[in-house]
Chain A
Amino acid sequence: MYWLLNSSIGRKFIMSVSGIFLVLFLLFHMSMNMTLIFSSSAYDMICEFLGANWYAIVGTLILAGGVVLHIGYATWLTLQNRQARGTNSYASSSQTKTEWSAQNMYVLGVIILGGLLIHMFNFWYKMQFSELIHLEGAVTKGSELVIPLFSNPLYVLVYILWLVALWFHLTHGVWSSFQTLGWNGRTWYPRLKLISNVVATIIMIGFAIVPVFFLIKKL
């Protein structure tokens, strides 16, 4: 299985599969968030279920593995690509009409990682992690953390900007992962582009609707 490391398509295969895995996780996380609109007790039940239980820990570790693989390979591939591009840059900068998101996947990734770190500090650290290392004040009722934070307009703004970056990342990432897996062609390209946009939009709206709901409710 060395080819996953030492061939370009092998490395991209890892990017693609880990990316699809993360998209599936986002869809799950989005569905979970949306229960908060309907019932905070249902949301708290899910939070408790995903506390310091062995299955939740295993899930978290697998997820962390996916994130590390995706970012690690992205960094590796980007460095290789910069080297392949060479040191001389064009004086007449590229006028090729490519999509902006396709050209800026790594930058978008860095923004997403930044948002992820804020998110981990605000929620995961105070919930699952604190419970795991038996820290005082570990929060098990997620809604107690989320609702005040989502009533803060500044936090909601940052959150939505983060989702916009994610949207751009996904509009390129979703179809691109199928292209890398070989599941594309003249017929499938427009279909996959559409699926990409739909998935990215569902994820963006699904996540954004929760803070917007609580912000409006507070007004």
Chain B
Amino acid sequence: MEKIINITLKVWRQKGPKAKGYFETYQLNEISGDTSFLEMLDILNEQLIHQGKEPIVFDNDCREGICGMCSLYINGHPHGPDDLITTCQLHMRHFNDGDTITVEPWRSAAFPVVRDLMVDRKAFDKIIQAGGYISVNTGGVPDANAIPISKMDADEAMDSASCIGCGACVAACKNGSAMLFVSAKVSQLALLPQGRIEAKARAKAMIAKMDELGFGNCTNTRACELECPKGVSISNIARLNRQFLKAKFSD
């Protein structure tokens, strides 16, 4: 049977990066349980536009959990209370009739609020630009299995590569640390032969950029891995630590 709920929303509103933010409360009635969280916000925005009010600004794009654009800190969880999904994959059936839902932007010094629920995540792009790529020309597609890669390495690299760079790890972390993101981006390359050549320089460059941009120091609380919509593991962080220390000690 379809679930229909009435909810109260407490949404963070902020005119601009420098403006002072505040919570605004909205009432939303007869929301179907099959509505996604972002569709629910669309409904709210239409309602606001009809009332002649400013709609709520929030990031979104693919709406199928692969682009990493949506964010939102919902009721104490990045991407909401459900596990291993992004906000666009969260459905209203996870809430009950009469619930008050608090919606906030990612809060971290390195992710300043642009407007309302939208934050500036360019810091992640800058970290990638610092070394999250392979600069050697690896030529065309090689013959399959010409370079043997163990199943374990291949799987681990794929798991790391599933990071969509949404920033939930930073949002969840009490230290505002980006270690889970950086370690996933380092691991997806370092585990494979093409990426191994520059592994040391990459780890050093990306960590240096991460520190420079004002992300915090990881204290291994595991909040990131528990909230990651793609289930990226902190074993990546251990790998990054290992590579960075090896690189520094071999200098």
Contact = CB atoms under 8 A, between A and B. Distances in A.
A182 B81 contact: no
A39 interface: no
B177 interface: yes
Interface in B170-188: 172-177
Contacts of A89: 107
Given A7-B211, A90-B76, A98-B226, A81 B242 contact: no
B244 A9 contact: yes
A176 B77 contact: no
A6 to B, nearest CB: 8
A8 B238 contact: no
A119 B233 CA distance: 41
A8 B217 contact: yes
Interface string A77-108: 10011011111111111111111001101000
Given A83-B216, A84-B216, 9 more contacts: A8-B218, A86-B107, A92-B76, A93-B76, A94-B172, A95-B77, A103-B221, A181-B241, A182-B241
A182 B242 contact: yes
B239 A102 contact: no
Nearest to B233: A186
A86 B177 CA distance: 11
Contact of A91 (B23, B220, B237, B242): B23
A102 to B, nearest CB: 4
A190 B233 CA distance: 13
B238 A86 contact: no
A103 B102 contact: no
A184 interface: yes
Interface in B144-180: 172-177
A102 B220 contact: yes
Given A86-B108, A184-B235, A176 B219 contact: yes
A86 B21 CA distance: 14
Contacts of B104: 90-92
A97 B81 CA distance: 11
Interface of B: 10, 12, 21, 23, 73-77, 81, 102, 104, 107-110, 172-177, 207-208, 210-211, 214-223, 226-227, 233-235, 237-246, 248
A128 B172 CA distance: 47
State the 9 A-B residue pairs at the shortest beta-carbon distance, nearest first.
A182-B242, A95-B76, A84-B216, A84-B176, A81-B175, A184-B238, A86-B109, A92-B102, A81-B216
Contacts of A186: 233, 235
Contacts of B245: 9, 13, 181-182
Interface string A4-19: 0011111111000000
A82 B237 CA distance: 21
B217 A96 contact: no
A3 B12 CA distance: 39
26 contacts: A7-B211, A8-B177, A8-B215, A8-B218, A9-B245, A11-B217, A12-B218, A77-B219, A83-B214, A84-B176, A84-B215, A84-B217, A85-B107, A85-B108, A85-B174, A90-B76, A92-B75, A96-B226, A98-B223, A99-B221, A179-B220, A180-B218, A181-B242, A182-B239, A182-B245, A182-B246
